[in-house]
Amino acid sequence: MSFPQKVLFIGATGYIGGTVLGKLLQHPRVTNLHVTAFVRDPAKAEKLEAFGVTPVIGDNSKLELLEALAQDADVVFSVANSDDVPAVKAALAGAKKRFESTGRPTTFIHTSGAGIIADCTVNGAHHDSPIFDDLDETQMATISPMQLHRPVDLELLDADDQGYIKSYIIVPTTVWGIPSGPLLDAGIQKWQNGILNFLVPASVARGQGGMVGEGRNVWNNVEVNELADLYILLYNAIMANEETAHGRVGLYFAENGAYELSEMSAVIARVLFEHGKGGSPIPTSFTAEEVEKMGLIAMLIASNAKCTASRARALGWRPTKSTREMLDCVRGGDDKTCWSRAQHLMETVWRSRTP
């Protein structure tokens, strides 16, 4: 892949996106990259300029602007909304125009999610759903077009089939941990952990750590900084013109361990109990009314989404932080940064519910 390169980054201020962009800005060849970030917040846009990033203020509803930005990009990092079909169509329209004028396909590195394999019939009752292996092309081809995130993925795969992009789809599982890097320090990116945002408010509201059903369902997990390493590793392989799978075989799971929902809920229940905000250190099942109020989130956190990141590991990705570290991070453990941020989230929720 030739240099210099024009990079369009979508999701620069997000939990995952900011972590990826921070690592990209530390790349050995960053002086050969012209990075444009599509951001909503003018204050954060101004801060990004100090890092050599060209900010463009707008959101995914600005479809013509998004199309124009993609038309001018050699590489697109899409690390934002994985369910916004109009936005991805706009970006692809720009990539197609670029191809028609230059003959060069756009490299499109997109973030999907393990919802593409979630078995939402489980309701927390068991962990017997299949394990998906991203090197098993026959199995991966069975993923239903009706799965969460799949409509956006299919737009990208169709565009890859037509040849005007090369799509590389990273599929994170439960992402945990606290990002590190200059964008976090500058107050540009979000630090919140997604699973805590789902489970903590619901547990605080009822005064008791909760789970859906028996909490026997299983998800994999990946630490956010190690997830960001995968993006850079993949990008480097593409830059080096290595034989890197793309299109319908170019899906890359990101996982390093698995956990039952009951394990996470038990940690939250104990922390709430120890702080006088929960009635028991043992989690209980959410009621039918609580589950209904949570909506799609309850269905998702009660599902099985089991996978193996064989393709990422074949690239040389070597994550080290697994389930034990994830649970330690929430309960306190040795990582005081994780704990202080988790505690801050809980305390923020508590304050918001104090009369």
pTM above threshold 0.85 = yes
Sorted by where each begins, the domain ranges of the chain are: 5-121+131-179+222-254, 194-221+257-307+314-350
pLDDT in tens, 74-101: 999 999 999 999 999 999 999 999 999 9
pLDDT at 335: 47
**What is the total residue count of the chain?**
355
Of 32-46, 175-189, 220-234, the range with the lowest mean pLDDT is 175-189
Q: Write the Ramachandran bin of 10: left for phi over 0, alpha for psi from -120 to 50, otherwise beta.
A: beta
Residues 312-351: tens digit of each pLDDT: 999 999 999 999 999 988 876 544 445 455 555 555 555 5
Q: What is the pLDDT of residues 264-316, one digit of tens each?
A: 999 999 988 988 889 999 999 999 999 999 999 999 999 999 999 999 999 99
Residue 330: the pLDDT is 80
Whether 257 and 49 have beta carbons less than 8 Å apart is answered as no
Tell me which amino acid residue 125 is: A
Nearest CA to 326 out of 194, 169, 131 is that of: 194
> What is the CB-side half-sphere exposure of residue 173 using CA atoms within 13 A?
28
User: Which CATH number is 5-121+131-179+222-254 given?
Assistant: 3.40.50.720
Cα 80 to the center of its chain, rounded Å: 8
Q: Measured between alpha carbons, how far is 48 from 124 in angstroms, rounded to an integer?
A: 42
